[in-house]
Amino acid sequence: MLETQSNQTMVKRFIFLLAGVLLLPLMSWLIAAALPSSSAAAAPEAVTFSLTAFASGLNEPVSLAHAGDSRLFALEQVGRIRIIQSDGTVLATPFLDITDRVDRSDNEEGLLGLAFHPNYSSNGYFYVNYINTTSGVRRTRISRFQVTGDPNVANPASEQIILTVGQHNWNHNAGDIHFGPDGYLYIPLGDGGGSGDTGNYAQTMTTLLGKIVRIDVDQGPGAAPDCVGIGTGSYTIPNDNPFINGAGGTCDEIWASGLRNPWRSSFDAWTGDFWMGDVGQGSWEEIDFQPVYSQGGENYGWRCYEGNNPYNTSGCGPASNYVFPVFAYSRSSPQCSVTGGYVYRGSQYPALFGRYVLTDFCSGHFWDIAPDGQGGWTGTQHPSTPVSGRAAFGQNVDGALFVANRATGTVQRLVEGTPSSPALFVTMSGPSTANAGAPIVYTLTVTNTGNAAATSLVVRDWVPAGATYVSGGSHSGGVVSWNIPNLAAGGSTSVQYTVNANQTITNTRYGVTSNQVNANGSGAVVTTIQQVQQPILSITKTGPGSAQPSQLITYTLTVNNTGTGDAHNLIISDTVPTGATYITGGSYAAGVVTWTSPHLAAQGSLQVQFVVTATQTIINDTYSVTSDQTSAVGTTPVTTIIGGIDVYMPLTLRD
């Protein structure tokens, strides 16, 4: 049985290698077309490439994949897979939403990798890599899901957890997964996180941390799972894996070792070579390479070496034991983290054919790696607009390359040459909490990362449900907008508007259009409204309905606070009615009587009085109370009729 599986594996590799040999003359001709005619062995000529806008409105995209058709699938780190159609339209309904089980609590956690089964068109299987935390234990999960009868919607309840790996820290989770040319699933894993691999996991063969795992999810003949974690173990281990020794000891799933954080990796679609971008510790970022004819077992050196340089060689073997990177660059600012890419195998740009393209997450700089004509490799840095957040490359079914930006929620397409075009993205900020009824200010920032100006920009934000527009921009039909005539390449501009609300609100819909390119915002601003204790004041007044001329008339004003908060610095005022003469009470000036009170407790009341006289009927109808928080006006007038009591004297008749 072991021999049968070994023969099957060898046949798979032989067929792929034979295909490469048959295609080699064509590949050589295509590559030679980009080389100087004087020498086929000379280093390739420099090429230029740039990015054009393709899709926007995603929430932290960290990976791109295709399923053998015209669609691109974008992984949102929070736990959703979104479909991007061939024209760049992002479908509103997620392909898969597993936010209920994905842990995105830290920077390098979340939904991280996606691979479609080689027979996806018939079985509908695809595999994801994500971080799950259950009962306080953090694990990498490799799970299988299946599409529904709707090709644009998968079934989140179809999950089968294949394999899990315990993680000691939130970082160095790697994330990419790929099916190789041999049909097996390759899973690069980080060293368990922290700093410096203090547990030396990348060099410890009894753990999958810091390794490339290679398994057969079709469960063909092979060895039984060895280091499955708490997964179902619904896989076998190919018999040509280099470290098979049965249960226990070295993990049989290991294909290669000595990796720190291989964040993004890919197979060359033509040759089957495997490329890995391994994030460095503090000095060097590196690209590792495994040729298609490899029998596995490579040790890429971490933690003994970082890049080509010793890091911690305690307990390490001679340098000849390790495979060093084909390319490394300094991690000095503004560089911070390599984003591994793809070898371009599209037909649209012949000069790019056969070049491996990579970028840096912080600086946004690009490089390409190509054979140097002498059996080695040469890396060339390309000028680009500095922008951080370039987290992943993707390749569509035609071999075109795309770049996803986690920070801007956009996907751009890589093109040859330097076309002049703008590239817009829009972000929004606002408060996370606010008092009920208090002003809430949103700030929208539009940035042009392209190499040409954008013109006739219109920035729009839809006022969130439950909010009331107050000011800023132009408001119509629930949409606030701003017109910006021009935004230069590399430029940025911000606009603001104000709302208030009495309930928690979520602002999710905003974007920018221009004559050249459009962009939708990604990410929501949730503002939790705090119901603060507020006073509610009312004021009433009483007085006599009638009085005799010059009789003392006493008015009583009562202030009630029916609210839940205290009122402070109250001022009660009453305008002496026309025809009345002020006598006493309160503080009188210019026809107005006033009283002050520093405090009125919630559910409390207070009374004040003043006295007037009058010789004619008077109407007292102007009185009020104010405080630091609120105010109230009296609504019921008091009318006092002067001389309103008639005296009837008996009539005496005389004879």
pLDDT at 271: 96
DSSP-assigned letter for residue 93: S
Task: Mention every residue, 6+ apart, whose C-beta is less than 8 A from residue 332.
Answer: none
Token readout for 606 is 């207070």
Residue 643: CA atoms inside 13 Å, Cβ hemisphere, count? 6
Residues 390, 359: contact at Cβ < 8 Å?
Answer: yes
pLDDT at 43: 53
pLDDT at 644: 52
> SS3 breakdown of the chain: % helix, strand, coil, rounded to 5?
5, 45, 50
Token readout for 263 is 């964040």
pLDDT at 449: 80
Task: Mention every residue, 6+ apart, whose C-beta is less than 8 A from residue 350.
Answer: 30, 33, 34
Task: Mention every residue, 6+ apart, whose C-beta is less than 8 A from residue 320.
Answer: none
What parts of the chain have a pLDDT lower than 70? 1-45, 385, 418-419, 644-655
Residue 123: helix, strand or coil by DSSP? helix
Cα distances from 202 to residues 289, 302, 320, in angstroms, run 17, 6, 17
pLDDT at 482: 97
Residues 58, 77: contact at Cβ < 8 Å?
Answer: no
Domain 2-416 identical in fold to domain 537-642: no
pLDDT tens-place string over residues 495-549: 999 999 999 999 999 999 998 888 888 778 998 988 778 899 999 999 999 999 9
Which residue, chain included where needed, has tokens 């402070």? 568
- Domain chopping of the chain, boundaries: 2-416, 424-530, 537-642
Domain spanning 2-416, CATH class:
mainly beta
pLDDT at 373: 86
Which residue, chain included where needed, has tokens 């905003």? 510
Q: Which option is the CATH number for 537-642: 3.90.1150.10, 3.30.70.20, 2.60.40.290, 2.60.120.380?
A: 2.60.40.290
pLDDT at 489: 84
pLDDT at 36: 33
Backbone phi and psi for residue 19, each to the nearest 5 degrees, phi listed first: -60, -40
Domain spanning 424-530, CATH class:
mainly beta
pLDDT at 51: 87
Cα distances from 192 to residues 165, 202, 358, in angstroms, run 10, 9, 24
pLDDT tens-place string over residues 386-418: 788 999 999 999 999 999 999 999 999 998 876
Instruction: Give 165's strand partners.
Output: 140
Which residue, chain included where needed, has tokens 């390739």? 44
